[in-house]
Amino acid sequence: MGGDGKMKRASFLVLLMASLVVGVALLPQTASALLPYSRLWDTMIPREAVDPFKILEHSPITIPKSLDTTFTVARADWKETSHAHLITLDVP
């Protein structure tokens, strides 16, 4: 008789857990599946920090916009040898 009570209790717990899972699954969800990040993620990392190439838009050399002369860029070449790294610059 003791085993029959344990079996009823176990089946009751399984039925209770299954009904809880179904109940949670049927709750209304407000998830936006096509949005890549949640609002919590957006508050932790601002949109400006997401673009890793934004640093390439900034130049350490300021050139006035009204300058009409041509700006010549120095050429650089880098070569790795067995003894050292060789960097050659062609500065105009």
pLDDT tens for 34-88 read: 655 556 666 666 666 666 666 666 666 666 666 556 667 788 888 898 989 898 8
Domain ranges of the chain: 3-90
pLDDT at 1: 52
For 92, the 3-state DSSP assignment is: coil
pLDDT at 32: 59
pTM of the model: 0.30
pLDDT at 51: 67
pLDDT at 23: 84
Which structure tokens are listed for 72? 């010549």
pLDDT at 17: 93
20: amino acid identity, one letter? L
pLDDT tens for 12-37 read: 999 999 999 988 878 776 665 665 55
pLDDT at 39: 63
Residues ≥6 apart with Cβ < 8 Å to 89: 74, 75, 76, 77
